[in-house]
Amino acid sequence: MHLTISEEHLGDIKTAGLVLRPNSSDLKPYYEILKSSLQKYQVRLLVEKKSANTLGIKGIPKEQLYTQSDILISIGGDGTLLSLSRRSYHYNKPILGINAGNLGFLTDIKLYEIEDFIDKIFSNQYRIDHRMVLEIKLRSKKEEKNLIAFNDIVLSRPSIDGMVNVDAYVSSPDAQMDKKHLNHYYGDGVIISTPTGSTAYNLSAGGPIVYPLTEALIITPICPHSLTQRPLVLPADFEVTFESEDETIIVVDGQDIYNLKFFDAISIKVAQKGVRMIHRIERNYFDVLKQKLHWGSQ
């Protein structure tokens, strides 16, 4: 395991691309402040088509937004930022999250901070965090699907009266380990999480909180039918493969759903590149934890 810490800065910013939380007409004040703040620096603001419809302005398709923008901006909650990060991943654009939600583990710029933070961006007073993501392969004799997960992959039971019944295997070239049987999971499900996602479903299921710039795989069983099953943290060079003869639902970042019965296996490993997220220099992860989880409260 190691930390991915960056001291890079953004290049010349001419165009910014904006995505809003869906169906949120109350976000127009955020858009207006952001637009005027960027105009001070002659930055053009493009808006994704569905978001633009909400604002009553002209927008462009997502693919054009990702291609033409120097940075991408989301306005909404953590879910909006998570979705933008996944869908724009292959364009490798830095992303800024403006918080118009409730949780704010990922988005740290509030409405009243937008103008000041845009000024800080153009005076190099910010930092870029490289957040690890997971590369997923769903394999069968007929096809192979390649996916990306920013938070987690959940192997879930197909119905309320069913159970997840899967075998897990690990392999690692660095550890000179070929495919080796790790565990048999029987219960409500299994979560494979990134450190960033460790404060999401993984935390609710009793998994560990892992510092988000760490590179590691977290495997947490959900309500297992054995008291011996416990969460496991693996180094970043490990690959985990799950196989099952039973129907198993695969949920990627809580947004995309697949069925393992159509595939022979699902393999998960750390992707070669992460997502670049723009944050305030002053942002401290442990302050965020204390605030969101009410640590130290009487």
What are the structural domains of the chain?
A: 15-132+274-293 (3.40.50.10330), 134-270 (2.60.200.30)
Phi-psi category of residue 191: left, alpha or beta, with phi > 0 → left and psi -120 to 50 → alpha: beta
Query: Could you give the CA distance from residue 87 to residue 267 in angstroms, rounded to a whole number?
Result: 20
pTM, whole model, 2 decimals? Answer: 0.91
Question: Helix, strand, coil proportions of the chain in percent (round to 5)?
Answer: 25, 35, 40
Residues in a beta bridge with 167: 184, 243
Query: Could you give the CA distance from residue 72 to residue 279 in angstroms, rounded to a whole number?
Result: 13
In this prediction, residue 8 has a pLDDT band, given cuts at 50, 70 and 90, of confident
Catalytic residue among 70, 78, 161, 188: 78
- Say if residues 98 and 109 touch (Cβ distance below 8 Å): yes
- Say if residues 88 and 72 touch (Cβ distance below 8 Å): yes
Instruction: Report how far Cα 24 is from the mean position of its chain's Cα atoms.
Output: 21
pLDDT (average), residues 131-150: 93
Q: In this predicted structure, what is the pLDDT of residue 81? A: 93
Q: In this predicted structure, what is the pLDDT of residue 223? A: 94
Q: What is the pLDDT of residues 162-198, one digit of tens each?
A: 899 999 999 998 878 889 999 999 999 999 999 999 9
Q: In this predicted structure, what is the pLDDT of residue 149? A: 96
Q: What percent of the chain has pLDDT over 70?
A: 97
Q: In this predicted structure, what is the pLDDT of residue 297? A: 67
Q: In this predicted structure, what is the pLDDT of residue 108? A: 83
Of 213 and 298, the structure prediction assigns the larger pLDDT to 213
Q: In this predicted structure, what is the pLDDT of residue 296? A: 80
pLDDT (average), residues 70-83: 94
Phi, psi of 154 (to 5 degrees): -115, 125
pLDDT (average), residues 136-160: 92
Q: In this predicted structure, what is the pLDDT of residue 227? A: 87
Query: Could you give the CA distance from residue 51 to residue 20 in angstroms, rounded to a whole number?
Result: 5
Active site residue 78: yes
